[in-house]
Amino acid sequence: MGDEIAQRHFNAEDFTRFRRRLDRETAEVARLFVNGGFSARGDIAGFELEAWLVDADGNPAPRNERFLDTLDNPLVVPELASYNVELNGSPCAITGRVFTRLHDELAATWRACREAAEALDLRLATIGILPTIAPELLNSDHMSRMVRYQALNDRVLALRDGAPFEVDIAGADHLLMSHDDVMLEAAATSFQIHLQCKPDRAVRTYNAALAASAPMVALSANSPFLFGRSLWAETRVPLFEQAVSLGPRDPERVGFGSGYADRSLFETFRENRELHAILLPYVQDEPPSKFAHVRFQNGTVWRWNRPLLGFDFDGVPHLRIEHRVVPAGPTIDDCIANTAVFMGAVRALVEDPVPIESDLPFETARANFYAAARLGLDAELTWRDGRRLPARQLLLEDMLPAATAALRTLDIPDVEVERHLGIATRRVERAANGAAWQRRWVERHGPDFNALTLAYLDAQDSGQPVHDWTV
């Protein structure tokens, strides 16, 4: 879904042509899985970081077009809303000083973004949900001027027969509202972690990512407030799921998935074709070997862990997992620490002689995920052999030590592992993720969400990871 399209409106012939190409390419993808046609390269990391543009009062600033023109950096692109942008990173082999390389590239891009923003009297925020976002800003007037976003909105509303989206999220407070377009999605911003995996490890890597999702959400939660209400620790999860729902008759477009992978990741691409309506039948003049229509269809199904088809530098197709559960922010250090935890945890689970999918039922992994999204580090989770324990205990006694040991097997220096896993460990020890900091700030200063946003920005700009922030 990252590419622009050339038309907004589609007719029956467009759907017929797209469906034929999608069917042909899906058959080609099936042959790749059967014949071993994927790149053998693996253990490669990447990321996408979504950010907010805000004004001097901490309110969203719908000026991404001017900002991007000023910045002029191909790594930074528009997002759905005109007050959001996305920062991208280069693929990086998971070995040596991998996390320093990821950190330094993202930090350099971030510095350039801050300079461009300051030239326009703006600031940048990395946060799951900006506390000052208001329903009246989530409309098509503030949609980025890209045809694909307009077309997506048209198609989703058409499939809903024009019915508004219903939002129902209960936490400390209760949010019950309706909304007229897909712009609700723009209130949720993420730090998406990419892991390119070797074909023979793809099934276990995907299943490990599913199992790790709950502790990753607990570790990173940063979205406790929406429209002035205190909701889930990671309110971004229910918000995004409800923001693009096609209704009760259609399978969820955003969700945890239908089960672990069994024989191959082709199962998810087959589901995309068989179960999900075509949203954007944009026919492209590409050979079947480019899988343009499979990739486009896959881009309109937003699993929290999404298998992707991509291409290596030499054109060989590869498989990677997009881990979408982590919110944006709070700082660059926190983002890279989250990346290190995910990479290490997945590696540890894949290397374990007992596959996690044989020891942790899918429905339990799914229930864990939503419990962690609701309660963050205060959640109680079920782990191997039905053992129930607090999320903090699971992280400190199991996941973080296992991730540390796994990363050391990849020729990553101890100092590298200790720096980035240490940030995550101290965050858990102090129960101080972004969601906890925001709630503590409101408990002390009251529900002034502009002041909260400005305090968050000042702490973020200090460069100190969130566990060192004061209120």
Tell me if 8 sits within 8 A of 154, measured CB to CB: yes
- To 5 degrees, how large is the angle CA 231–CA 422–CA 188? 30
CA distance 84 to 63: 9
Q: Where are the domains of the chain?
A: 12-468
How does pLDDT run across 293-332, given as a tens digit for each residue? 999 999 999 999 999 999 999 999 999 999 999 999 999 9
CA distance 465 to 330: 7
Confidence at residue 140, expressed as pLDDT on a 0 to 100 scale? 86
Confidence at residue 1, expressed as pLDDT on a 0 to 100 scale? 40
How does pLDDT run across 78-98, given as a tens digit for each residue? 999 999 999 999 999 999 999
By CB atoms closer than 10 A (0-12, 13-18, 19+), residue 277 is: middle
Share of the chain above pLDDT 90, in %: 89
**Token pair in block for residue 86:** 């996305």
Of 56, 49, 58, 123, residue with least CA distance to 438: 58
Confidence at residue 355, expressed as pLDDT on a 0 to 100 scale? 96
Strand partners, 229: 226
199, HSE (Cβ side, Cα atoms, 13 Å):
15
Helix/strand/coil for 196: strand
At residue 426, φ and ψ (nearest 5 deg) are: -65, -35
Q: How does DSSP assign 118-183, residue by residue? A: HHTT-EEE--SS-TT--GGGSSGGGB-S-HHHHHHHHHHHHHTTTPPEEEEEESSSEEEEEESSGG
CA distance 140 to 78: 15
CATH of 12-468, one of 3.30.590.20, 3.40.605.10, 3.40.50.800, 1.10.357.10: 3.30.590.20
How does pLDDT run across 346-388, given as a tens digit for each residue? 999 999 999 999 999 999 999 999 999 999 999 999 999 899 9
CA distance 283 to 7: 10
Tell me if 167 sits within 8 A of 173, measured CB to CB: no
User: What is the chain's Cα-based Rg?
Assistant: 21
CA distance 302 to 316: 25
**Residue with token string 């689970």:** 349
Confidence at residue 269, expressed as pLDDT on a 0 to 100 scale? 94
Strand partners, 298: none
pTM: 0.96
The residues of the chain scoring below 50 in pLDDT are 1
Tell me if 138 sits within 8 A of 189, measured CB to CB: no
Measuring CA to CA, how many Å separate 353 from each of 348, 359, 397? 10, 11, 19
Positive or negative, the CA dihedral 78, 148, 217, 306 is negative
